[in-house]
Amino acid sequence: MSSADADSGRPITGSIQKPRRRVPFWDNARYACIVLVVLGHAVQRLIYDSDIAFAFYLTLYAFHMPAFAIISGYFSKSTSPTKTQMARVITDILVPYLIFELLWTLTKWLVEGQADPNITRPSWTLWFLLALGIFRLVLPYLALLRWPLVWTVAISIGVGYLPNVDSTFSLSRTLGLLPFFAFGWWLREHDIVARMRLLDFRPWWVRVAAVAVLAATGWAAWTWLPLWQTIDLRHWLFYEDSYADLGGEQWWAGGLRIALMLLAVVLSAAFFALIPRGTHWWTPFGQYTMYVFLLHSFVLYPFRETGILRDLDPTWIWLPVVALLSVLIALALATRPVRWLFRPLVEPRPTWLFSDPRLASREGRRNDPTGSRRPAPPQSKSSAPT
């Protein structure tokens, strides 16, 4: 089996593999996306008391998870999975999901005095783990079809008309966001980034246009906020509920989802246009988004339950403070001590689960939710798998 460059996707041939060249842009983009995830969850408690915070929240949710799905799709393979790749779906997604569902059950029982264990209903952020697992399982089948992007858009729109497709195993949200994952894969499959030299040259006017697009969206969110609250736009952006549950019983309700998907692609493009291309001191943290993703909700949980973030005024002070704290949380959770402490939970290697233990113990590459591969910690020869 040939291995691929972690960020360029080009195969490495020959008996001796060359060192992989990482493209800093993608690690920067991963880290920026996970910061937005933390920020979105942190800001949520401010939206009940501040129109500005609510408008900021809507702007953020209009694209941050679609952008995450696009990156995930970009680094996913549509070829028939090998045994190792199938094992990684279990070790990198399913096992951490079960571990953290158990931790959330214990947390709710200790804090709230009650718990309703149900692995079919993902707790808080864990829905995205299941979504990634499903994305990777269906991608080889989608790649067989003509016009795969069209099919995924049709699925996303159509599932909104089916009230029986709900949050069980996060299926409604998974199918709703499937076009963005497929779009990321399509960009890689057709080598769009390299052919259009999107990472080689970025004129100043592109960055200005990107800022203008994001600013215009934020302005529109704030100016017409009463309208967005009336139609419950916030929940439309989750891609989770059926149109009927959102008050969109009309036959054309799917048109709003189409508009939101187009908006998400435009905003994601603007967001990516602002991502630095060079290596910075925080660039390596983009390789460890799994830790931030799984752990940040436990950090924010006390704030959410105690209501500390309610009634914070003035917003022009507290919103930047919360944004800064979100960046610091994302930084702290990606540091080496945190990774060392929580690695058995975040990156378990249950060798006992497999008939061939090497499928779980292989340490040559470690993955995060978006498919970023990185070298494993040094091993002694006696402990290295053969």
Per-residue pLDDT of the chain (386 residues; tens, 9 = 90+): 333 344 444 443 444 445 567 889 999 999 999 999 999 999 988 898 889 999 999 999 999 999 999 999 999 988 888 888 888 889 999 999 999 999 999 988 888 777 778 888 898 889 999 999 999 999 999 999 999 999 999 999 999 999 899 889 999 999 999 999 999 999 999 999 988 888 887 889 999 999 999 999 999 999 999 999 999 999 999 999 999 999 887 888 999 999 999 999 999 999 999 999 999 999 999 999 999 999 999 999 888 777 776 667 767 788 899 899 999 999 999 999 999 999 999 999 888 888 888 887 755 455 566 666 665 555 444 333 33
How confident is the model at residue 15, as a pLDDT? 41
Task: List beta partners, residue 125.
Answer: none
Q: Give the list of residues 6+ apart from residue 356 with CB closer than 8 angstroms, or none.
A: 83
The amino acid that residue 139 corresponds to is L
Residue partners of 70: CB distance under 8 A and separation at least 6: 180, 181, 183, 184, 187, 268
Residue 11 pairs in a beta bridge with 4
Neighbour-count burial for 255-293, b at 16+ CB within 10 Å, e otherwise: ebbeebbebbbbbbbbbbbebeeeeeebbebbbbbbbbb
Place of tokens 């990634």: 132
Q: What is the widest separation between alpha-carbon atoms in the chain? A: 65
The pLDDT assigned to 202 comes to 83
**Exposure string for 173-195, b = 16+ CB within 10 A, e = fewer:** bbbbbbbbbbbbbbbbbeeebee
Question: SS3 string of 244-280?
Answer: CCCCCCCHHHHHHHHHHHHHHHHHHHHHHHCCCCCCC
Q: Are 49 and 310 in contact (CB under 8 A)?
A: yes
The torsion angle over the Cα atoms of residues 75, 345, 130 and 360, rounded to 10 degrees, is 60
- Residue 96 sits at the vertex; the CA angle it makes with 92 and 99, to the nearest 5 degrees, is 160
Query: CA-to-CA distance for 194 and 95, rounded, in angstroms?
Result: 35
